[in-house]
Amino acid sequence: MKLELRGITKRFPGVIANNDVNLVVEPGEIHALLGENGAGKTTLVNVLFGLYQPDEGEIRIDDRRVTFQDPGDAITAGIGMVHQHFMLVPVFTVTENVMLGVESVRGPLGQQLDRPAARKRIVEISEAHNLHVDPDALVEDLPVGVRQRVEIIKTLYRQSDLLVLDEPTAVLTPQEDEELFEIMRSLKASGTSIVFITHKLNEAMGIADRITVLRAGRVVGTTTPQEATLESLAEMMVGRHVSLVVDKEPAKPGATVLEVKDLIVRDDRGHVTVNGLNLEVRAGEIVAIAGVQGNGQTELVEAITGLRHPVAGSIRIEGQAVRLEPRKVLEAGVAHVPEDRLEDGCVPAFTIAENLVLNTYYRPPYSNGLQLDRDAIGKEAETLVRDFDVRTPSVFNPVGNLSGGNQQKVIVAREFSRPIHLLVAAQPTRGLDVGSIEYIHRRIVEKRDEGAAVLIVSTELDEVLALADRIAVIYQGRIVDILDPESATPQQLGLLMGGSGPGEVAAAANGESGLVVTAHG
Amino acid sequence: MAEPLPGPAPAEGSTRGTVPDGPTLAARLGTTARGLAVPILAIFSALVIGAVVIVLSDVTFFERLQSDPGAALGAAVGEVLRAYRELFTGALGSPTDYVDAFTSGDPDLIRKAFVPISETLLAATPLIFTGLAVALGFQCGLFNIGAEGQLYVGAMFGTFAGFAFAGLPWFVHIPLAVGAGFLGGALWGFVPGLLKARTGAHEVIVTIMLNYTAYNLISWILKVPGYQREGRSDPISKVALDSSWYPPLVEGLRANWGFVLGLVAAIAVSWLLFRSTRGFEFRAVGFNPTAARYAGMSIATSTILAMTISGGLAGLAGTSIVLGVTHSLTFGISSGFGFDGIAIALMAASRPRGIILASLLFGALRAGATPMQSLTGVPIDLVVVIQALVIMFVAAPALVREIYRIRVPETTGLETFSQGWRA
């Protein structure tokens, strides 16, 4: 299917989300739509999928003009969409989810669902593209990566010739990313066109045939991975030169600030997720904890910040034992950038100003103990919004209305503007665009150079390698190895994160068999 | 669905020199007008449907419709207009009465002309308190269904303080009795707050249960010698001493200083929620308890304190009745004021200013209902129907916008209303 968008303009009150956007997707092409958060990517595909009506412009399929009143029209025309947030019924099986809305039926009155027929087609689709989906599994039992494949099957089941993937890798682990790309290549080989929305440069370069870059609602240009470089793409996206490597001096570590000894922590379900962990972070260094999600990182951070009671072991910050009182921990000079910014990091309904004092509101100059000083809060907010480059028309806008990058900047501004000795940041740049990532990384290095001890938790290897002065690899609740980022390779890290002991990894690196049994195994 | 959109031309740099003092006056007025559009249209729609109910509930209407449709419809319209006229004059007074009274200059007539407004204020008073009570809970993420029970316990304490201390001057006795009422309600709010904070028991369940406990407590204490009125065998308390009564706003009218206390309470709640340090915690916990905990706030403290204050406000509703109207405690003092408080808080989106307006509306409907029934024969229940319709339309703003074709801007980003409560 050939898809063409001509001069699409979509206005919202006060903003032009898409301004005269032109886009051509050839049959059997993977076309990456690249842009920062808020550049108008999602608006554009919502127009394409019939969720919004464009104010101007037209959509053409195979050189015929079409209009979509609603997603049903778009689906009929052969467009399939995989949203960032999946549209699946958790308690239904894969087959039931896929046939939902286009049920095949049997019996004289069509009174009975024909699950076997649907199941058979799902198996065919699954095998044709190596999707490896069990049609009888309940969706709620499936990992995120597989749920995404169920969504893809749903679109193929409805005979889509053009697939729109809205930031599909945002929810995936690095391993799952690779599997998804394989599937995309297989679909392409069978003639399906794919519109692939992303803000990650590597992905666009790695998988796309052509790349269209959006900025502030306009098309900046269309290029190919052969012509473009990471730097040129970043510049197109952000509109200025962006440094992709973190400039930093070698660390000058000082005294130990954070000391974790034999720590054991349980998660909410009572499972031991941190299991005898030892770790030290010194002033003036960045230690990054690398690991696959779910290996105890969340519970470790919660224990350090006083949010979760450890079962055993000790945590000391500047010699003081941490107690189960988040406020005491914060007052001791610990800054915490939580993993989930909307859930844990801010109150979306509160204004930017209110969120900026979310953990200092009770102290002078913001409060006299009884009443808030709104002038002082507003003034501080103006300063921070300027210093931390939060893009907003007013500090009285709710944080929930900001883009993800700006929300994260608000949290970073709040945490970094206090005098701190220890910074704990979990997934500090998850879901952010290159401009924001560059900015937040620079701020983190600044904090280190001011003498703070920094603990980063990240599942992004690029981030770990770029930021860390030391890399601690976590696996099943323990630090299995500590590496020097200068000499560590992504392969080596990947193996350690996957549970191979350091001995095995060293052996593998030396070209020997990877099956050496070690004490860590 | 909507991706957070780019701000207006995010140029280099940021917000230098942009609106430091919040929205301009014009913008604020615009927002207020838009905020009022839905409630006003909701009231209008409710009255229209109420009119249909008036017509349909008249049995003779259908008979007449068969014989002479034109006359039947004309009569129906006449009846609706008459009923609404009596409802409005019953709530706000009749213009001719005002004119006559002022031209005659007779203070007695003037006073009489103001009786309907006085009755409206009187009926609105307990609603302001219970509305504030429920709204305060909502703002902290708590659903206090127990305002009715808290009202009764507050009334019980207030009545006791009213009759038990003789010989006090009014400026000591009134604060004492009002304080006792607050304390009683606060106690009834503290218990579910404590249970929620310590054990996670859901406040909806506990407050419903405590309503029944309160009824039984009242039925017991009204039989206790020393609380029960001497020489009576029915459940009724002693009479509160007149030094504890809310003085009337105007001599000879029933509206009293309890209403003014309601306004003061609304200002106090507004300050507490939106200006005070504690209120910041309440709202943070209400909107996002996890983030509040991460920021070092104590969810338990906020929960207990908010429920306690909420209960105390409902207790004040109790005193506004026993010290302002009945001067003694019986079972009949509240006709669901605690539950109406929920509707009022919802209608006002938990804003104190809106609660005053909504209470005045409900008060007016209650005050106008009796004259309407006695003068036109349209049953008082019509008012309940109208109230229910108003609540329904306010709770479904999309419906109102659809009916009246109000364009809403396609929202960009999150809707940021108070989320009320979580299950």
**pLDDT tens, position by position, B226-257:** 999 999 999 999 999 999 999 999 998 999 99
Taking 80 as the threshold, does the pLDDT of residue A501 lie above it?
no
Of the given ranges (A111-125, A382-396, A397-411, B3-17), which has the lowest mean pLDDT? B3-17
Minimal C-alpha gap between A154 and chain B (Å): 20
Mean pLDDT of B85-114: 91
Most confident of A318-322, B259-263, B332-336: B259-263
In this prediction, residue B21 has a pLDDT band, given cuts at 50, 70 and 90, of very low
Give the CA count within 13 Å in the CB-facing half-sphere of A340: 12
Task: Determine, for residues B5 and A400 on separate chains, whether the beta-carbon distance falls below 8 Å.
Answer: no
Residue A207: is it exposed, middle or buried by C-beta count within 10 angstroms (0-12/13-18/19+)? buried
The pLDDT of residue B415 is 33
The pLDDT of residue A113 is 83
Mean pLDDT of A166-194: 86
Q: Classify residue B18: in a domain, yes or no.
A: no
| Structure letter (DSSP) for residue A346 | -
Q: List the single residue in B5, B10, B294 with the smallest CB-CB distance to A338.
A: B294
The pLDDT of residue A342 is 86
In this prediction, residue B5 has a pLDDT band, given cuts at 50, 70 and 90, of very low
With CA atoms as reference, report the closest residue to B361 among B29, B36, B28: B36
Amino acid (one-letter) located at A236? M
Nearest-by-CA chain B residue for A303: B294
In this prediction, residue A504 has a pLDDT band, given cuts at 50, 70 and 90, of low
Mean pLDDT of A209-228: 93
| Chain B residues within an 8 Å CB radius of A42 | 1-3
ipTM of the complex: 0.82
Minimal C-alpha gap between A358 and chain B (Å): 6
Query: What is the number of structural domains in chain B?
Result: 1
Q: Classify residue B347: in a domain, yes or no.
A: yes
> What is the rounded average pLDDT for all residues in chain B?
87
Q: Classify residue B363: in a domain, yes or no.
A: yes
Taking 90 as the threshold, does the pLDDT of residue B24 lie above it?
no
Q: Classify residue B206: in a domain, yes or no.
A: yes
| Chain A residues within an 8 Å CB radius of B414 | 348-349, 398, 400-401
Directed axis angle between helix B381-395 and helix B25-56, to 10°?
140
Of the given ranges (A289-298, A357-366, B229-238, B392-401), which has the lowest mean pLDDT? B392-401
The pLDDT of residue B273 is 96
Amino acid (one-letter) located at A113? L
Q: Classify residue B386: in a domain, yes or no.
A: yes
The pLDDT of residue B133 is 98
> What is the rounded average pLDDT for all residues in chain A?
88
Mean pLDDT of A314-339: 92
Mean pLDDT of B141-155: 97
B20 touches chain A (CB under 8 A): yes
Which B residues in the span 289-308 are in contact with A, Cβ-Cβ below 8 Å? 290-297
Distances in Å between the alpha carbon of A387 and those of A342, A400, A410? 22, 20, 11
The pLDDT of residue A402 is 84
pLDDT digits (tens, 9 = 90+) for A202-217: 889 999 999 999 998 8
The pLDDT of residue A185 is 93
Range of the domain at B68: 30-105+114-404
Q: Classify residue B4: in a domain, yes or no.
A: no
Taking 80 as the threshold, does the pLDDT of residue B99 lie above it?
yes
Q: Which CATH number goes with the domain that contains B343? A: 1.10.3470
Directed axis angle between helix A144-157 and helix A115-128, to 10°?
110
Task: Determine, for residues A378 and B412 on separate chains, whether the beta-carbon distance falls below 8 Å.
Answer: no
pLDDT digits (tens, 9 = 90+) for A28-46: 999 999 988 778 888 898 8
B17 touches chain A (CB under 8 A): no
Predicted model pTM: 0.80
Mean pLDDT of A142-164: 90
Which residues, 6 or more positions from B417, have their beta carbon under 8 angstroms from its beta carbon?
A349, B349
In this prediction, residue A105 has a pLDDT band, given cuts at 50, 70 and 90, of confident
The pLDDT of residue A338 is 93
In this prediction, residue A505 has a pLDDT band, given cuts at 50, 70 and 90, of low
Distances in Å between the alpha carbon of A145 and those of A86, A139, A150, A436? 11, 11, 9, 26
The pLDDT of residue B132 is 98
pLDDT digits (tens, 9 = 90+) for A53-100: 999 999 999 999 999 998 889 999 999 999 877 889 999 999 999 988
Distance CA A130, CA A135 (A): 13
Task: Determine, for residues A400 and B413 on separate chains, whether the beta-carbon distance falls below 8 Å.
Answer: yes
Mean pLDDT of A360-369: 93
Mean pLDDT of A381-401: 91
Of the given ranges (A381-390, B22-31, B126-135, B235-244), which has the lowest mean pLDDT? B22-31
Q: Are B130 and B315 in contact (CB under 8 A)?
A: no
Distance CA A453, CA A251 (A): 11
Q: Note every long-range contact of A175-178, with CB atoms under 8 Å and residues 24 or more positions apart, other chains counting.
A: A176/A144, A176/A145, A176/A148, A177/A203
Burial A211-246 (b: 16+ CB within 10 A, else e): bbbbbbbbbbeebebeebeeeebbbbbbbeebeeeb
Distances in Å between the alpha carbon of A22 and those of A47, A137, A220, A258? 13, 41, 10, 53
Taking 50 as the threshold, does the pLDDT of residue B19 lie above it?
no
Of the given ranges (A52-66, A182-196, B55-69, B237-251), which has the lowest mean pLDDT? B55-69
pLDDT digits (tens, 9 = 90+) for B180-205: 999 999 999 999 999 999 999 999 99
CA torsion angle A17 A22 A26 A27 (round to 10):
50
Most confident of A371-385, A482-496, B29-43: A371-385
Q: Cα angle vertex B319, ends B316, B325, to 5°?
A: 135
State the SS3 of chain B.
CCCCCCCCCCCCCCCCCCCCCCCCHHHHHHHHHHHHHHHHHHHHHHHHHHHHHHHHCCHHHHHHHHHCHHHHHHHHHHHHHHHHHHHHHHHHCCHHHHHHHHHHCCHHHHHHHCHHHHHHHHHHHHHHHHHHHHHHHHHCCCCCCCHHHHHHHHHHHHHHHHHHCCCCCHHHHHHHHHHHHHHHHHHHHHHHHHHHHHHCCCHHHHHHHHHHHHHHHHHHHCCCECCECCCCCCCCECCCCHHHCCCECCCCCCCEHHHHHHHHHHHHHHHHHHCEHHHHHHHHHHHCHHHHHHCCCCHHHHHHHHHHHHHHHHHHHHHHHHHHHHCCCCHHHCCCHHHHHHHHHHHCCCCHHHHHHHHHHHHHHHHHHHHHHHHHCCCCHHHHHHHHHHHHHHHCHHHHHHHHCCCCCCCCCCCCCCCCCCC
Q: Strand order in A3-12's β-sheet? A: A15-25, A3-12, A56-61, A64-66
Q: Classify residue B357: in a domain, yes or no.
A: yes
| Chain B residues within an 8 Å CB radius of A345 | 291, 294
pLDDT digits (tens, 9 = 90+) for A457-484: 988 888 898 899 999 999 999 999 999 9
In this prediction, residue A434 has a pLDDT band, given cuts at 50, 70 and 90, of confident
Taking 90 as the threshold, does the pLDDT of residue B30 lie above it?
no
Q: Are A156 and A191 in contact (CB under 8 A)?
A: no
Task: Determine, for residues B416 and A401 on separate chains, whether the beta-carbon distance falls below 8 Å.
Answer: yes
Which residues, 6 or more positions from B375, have their beta carbon under 8 angstroms from its beta carbon?
B86
CA end-to-end distance (rounded Å), chain A? 51
Taking 50 as the threshold, does the pLDDT of residue A133 lie above it?
yes
Nearest-by-CA chain B residue for A374: B275
Nearest-by-CA chain A residue for B296: A327
The pLDDT of residue A198 is 87
Directed axis angle between helix B147-164 and helix B115-139, to 10°?
120
In this prediction, residue A269 has a pLDDT band, given cuts at 50, 70 and 90, of confident
Nearest-by-CA chain A residue for B297: A327
Candidates A391, A397, A402, A432: best to mutate against B (most CBs of B within 10 A) is A391
Q: Classify residue B24: in a domain, yes or no.
A: no
Residue showing tokens 């008036």: B54
Q: List the single residue in B14, B20, B413 with the smallest CB-CB distance to A391.
A: B14
Distance CA A147, CA B34 (A): 42
Minimal C-alpha gap between A448 and chain B (Å): 23
Taking 70 as the threshold, does the pLDDT of residue B6 lie above it?
no
| Chain A residues within an 8 Å CB radius of B3 | 17, 37-38, 40-43, 403
